[in-house]
Amino acid sequence: MQITARTDRGFVIDYVVDSDIRSRNFAGHEKRHPTQNYIVNGEGRRNFLLFHLSDELVAELQARGCEVKYSKVNNPNDVPVPYVSVQVSYYLKPVSITTNANGQETIIDESHAYLLDSMDFSRMAIELDFGKKKQHKDGTEYTPIFASTIYAFITPNYFAQTFGAMASQSADVTEPDGDVDPF
């Protein structure tokens, strides 16, 4: 994943694949730590983690004051993977989210953002913007990252497509014994 274009407030990264986006919380649900009883993500905070950043992207984010973290390594042969937290906001400057499934584009508004938590993406482009510097409780500064535009290609679900086609084709089919097929 690399920077593919620059904007007046940030830049666009393209070719983000499904495995690069983790801990999705487009719905804004409160999440607690799995083994300890503390809140990891407060109610209403929509965000996701973006993994597998290129060296160029890591350098750019660090130069802007963003927190680039590295995954924990369980095996000595593994290499830590860089990642950042990206916020999704509908308040000051609402995020623009469009999905593309088999060539059909759909605009995702705030009331349907939760759907992105479970969708499989084949590819995604994300425009990143940067907020004003903030401080952690310990006094260290950081620059928050916001997704201002997301364009996602949804991986086709062949079962749903096949079942949907069967259901629409068999709506008026009468079985040999005279019963009408419920589909």
pLDDT in tens, the chain (183 residues): 667 777 777 778 777 776 788 888 999 888 877 777 777 777 888 999 999 888 888 999 999 999 999 998 888 888 899 999 999 988 877 899 999 988 889 999 999 999 888 888 888 889 989 988 888 888 889 999 999 999 998 887 665 666 555 555 554 545 555 555 554
Integer CA distances (angstroms), 44 to 36, 90, 110, 123, 137, in order:
21, 10, 11, 26, 20
Amino acid identity of residue 163, one-letter, is F
Q: How many CB atoms lie within 10 A of CB 60?
A: 20
pTM of the model: 0.77
Asked whether the beta carbons of 48 and 24 are under 8 A apart, the reply is yes
The CATH code that applies to domain 2-169 is 2.40.50
